Structure 1
Amino acid sequence: MTDRIIAVGFNTAPVEGDLSLLDTRLAAMVEMGCTGAEVTVTGLDAVAACRFVPERVAELRTVMNRHDLAYSMHAPIAINLMDEAHADLMRRAAMVSMELAAETGARVVVLHPGRVAPKAWIDCQGALMQFELDQLGPVADRAAELGVKIAYENISPNARVIAGLETSYSLDPRLLAEQLQRLSHEAVTACLDISHAQQGAVLWGFDMIEACEALAPWIGHIHYSDSTGQPLDFPTTHLGEKHFFGAGDMHAPPGYGVVDFEALARRLPLRPDTRVVIEIKRNFHSHAGAATLAAAQGFARTVNAITAQGAAA
């Protein structure tokens, strides 16, 4: 049986227009044994006003083709297909993200689901969920035409969520599964962000592993990092203070939080061609990057072995 998880690697940080930094980072990933990479679209300067900058797209394609990695892309987090006031702009941004992936050989594009003000959610939940589907459907159709898949990612309780400015159904992976079921599009899978699921579970009081298992039939992409789930609802002055307290979206190596990765791996009958993307903060790379890669590779082996055993039973 073909492995469900086909690649493991890291995401790239924004390169602020310097594609030589991306080239160096991708080369380092190959050197350390990665088989995949997720390129952060923000900061590439390959798109402006939701249109290609042709010479930058060509340069980006050259850089990515230089390295033998299974690529995904993370579209701008600001894309919000539940934003009625900017509906056309958001849809165009999502469309060009699909097109950039196709132009550069990335087969998966990560998008964040819709977010709205809590009062709007209370007043108009059903209409907002349908609006998102109406926005996402044409983007998914375009992705299918291009041979690209969308990975819809469960979000974290970020600063705006904690401040009560916005909310999202996707804080709970089970609700994300229900929305993907409503859409039922061949080009749309789920991106399980493990750390986000842990944070959502603490915030909303559900069982993290059970919620991830409910999403599993839709999962075609995974973001791999650890956290405690402790909300960051107090002020900090440095990124390292988040890690010191164990609060917020830590983006930490396994063992720095409380996620039971072994138990989780045994409960995820994933979709074929799933990629695992490690998302740890830059300060961890020098002293924990190699160990985190080894842990993620072990996680992938467990998932693949359990899936193979289930198929053989």
Structure 2
Amino acid sequence: MVAVGLTTQGQDGRPDSLLPKLQAIRAAGADAAEIALYDLDVVAGGRPLERQFARVLEIASEFALRYSVHGPIASNPWDLRHREIHEAVAAAHLTMAGRLGAGIYVQHSGRTVHATGPELAALRAQERDFLRRLGDLAGRMGVTVVVENLFGERPGDLTQLPHEVAEQVAEVDHPHVRVLIDFSHAYQEATRRGVDAWASVRQAAPLTAHLHVHDSFGRTATMLGHTRSETVAFGMGDLHLPPGWGDIPWEMLFGELRFLPGTIANVELPARYAEHAPEVVAQVRAMVGLGR
């Protein structure tokens, strides 16, 4: 573990909006920032918008932070219908990650609904081909692609736990493709399936180069509150709570897990919890054993 980071937040699309976000991340005492390029209008129809991205480069250069880049949330290697645009959009964002000097590019793993065994095997094979091509580009850009585990919410949803992502990454066998463990996503998906989340995480750890840290109760969102605060009160869904607000056993996990050298613990903290950012950064730094 080399750093604790925070993710940039906000969805107005303006490159200039990155400046106050990075200022806030630095003020919170973080060592790293995960730039949510999916929140910025820097790609259109799979093509880079160079003038827009130039401003992002200019702003990022003002800060002495380790950067990672989160690619599009909707990116899905199992979506064969839109395969070409998925690849073009991922390549555009990954190239930008390299130009930003980011060491890590976050790619979501595949998900679908109601696939048979042979269909699922074909989708996983397609994902491996996609990751090999992305890995080749990442190698040219000096970036490592990390594949993030997701979660399902409805009957018939199919997605991958951390150990299943690790199986894909091991079979891809590319030096620039590794695993990203999202602990809360793993908790929710494992609870939905009735399996042990932390056993899956343990299996994936040796191939893991990046972490997403946020808390929850591992409950599928089978109901929603009238307000976001009510949903938090019921403890349902992907809450992105500050660590300690949910019941993920952080001390146990960080006490026993070992990841690849250079791993960053990035806290995906929503803007509604921004006031807690300094204490969260200090807390996570202590949990992962990083001094100042």
For Structure 1 versus Structure 2, the TM-score category normalised by the shorter chain is over 0.9
Which residue number in structure 1 is paired with residue 182 of structure 2?
A: 193
Task: Give distance in 1, aligned partners of 2:289 and 2:107.
Answer: 26
The residue identity in structure 2 corresponding to 1:124 is E
Which residue number in structure 2 is paired with residue 234 of structure 1?
A: 223
The residue identity in structure 2 corresponding to 1:284 is Y
Q: Secondary structure at the match of 2:54?
A: helix
Task: Give distance in 2, aligned partners of 1:121 and 1:250.
Answer: 31
Which residue number in structure 2 is paired with residue 66 of structure 1?
A: 62
Task: Give distance in 1, aligned partners of 2:94 and 2:13.
Answer: 20
Task: Give distance in 2, aligned partners of 1:155 and 1:280.
Answer: 17
The residue identity in structure 2 corresponding to 1:49 is G
Partner of residue 292 from structure 1, selected from 277, 280, 285: 280
Which residue number in structure 2 is paired with residue 163 of structure 1?
A: 154
Task: Give distance in 2, aligned partners of 1:121 and 1:107.
Answer: 37
1:14, CA displacement in angstroms?
3.2
Task: Give distance in 2, aligned partners of 1:281 and 1:240.
Answer: 13
Which residue number in structure 2 is paired with residue 136 of structure 1?
A: 131
Which residue number in structure 1 is paired with residue 47 of structure 2?
A: 51
Task: Give distance in 2, aligned partners of 1:93 and 1:48.
Answer: 8
Q: Is residue 6 of structure 2 the alignment partner of residue 14 of structure 1?
A: no
1:267, CA displacement in angstroms?
2.4
CA contact (8 A) 2:180 2:208 kept: yes
1:18, CA displacement in angstroms?
2.6
CA contact (8 A) 2:209 2:263 kept: yes
Q: CA RMSD in A?
A: 1.6
Which residue number in structure 2 is paired with residue 307 of structure 1?
A: none
Task: Give distance in 1, aligned partners of 2:3 and 2:66.
Answer: 7
Alpha-carbon spacing, 1:68–1:198, altered in 2? closer, same or farther (3 Å): same
1:114, CA displacement in angstroms?
0.7
1:122, CA displacement in angstroms?
3.8
**TM-score (norm. length: structure 2):** 0.95
CA contact (8 A) 2:179 2:208 kept: yes
Structure 2: gaps (5+ residues): none
Which residue number in structure 2 is paired with residue 301 of structure 1?
A: 289
1:30, CA displacement in angstroms?
1.3
Partner of residue 269 from structure 2, selected from 276, 280, 283: 280
Task: Give distance in 1, aligned partners of 2:74 and 2:156.
Answer: 15
Which residue number in structure 2 is paired with residue 214 of structure 1?
A: 203
**TM-score (norm. length: structure 1):** 0.89
For these two proteins, the number of residue pairs brought into alignment is 291
Percent identity at matched positions?
29
Which residue number in structure 1 is paired with residue 76 of structure 2?
A: 80
1:244, CA displacement in angstroms?
1.0
Structure 1: gaps (5+ residues): 305-313
1:123, CA displacement in angstroms?
4.6
Which residue number in structure 2 is paired with residue 145 of structure 1?
A: 140
Q: Is residue 28 of structure 2 the alignment partner of residue 37 of structure 1?
A: no
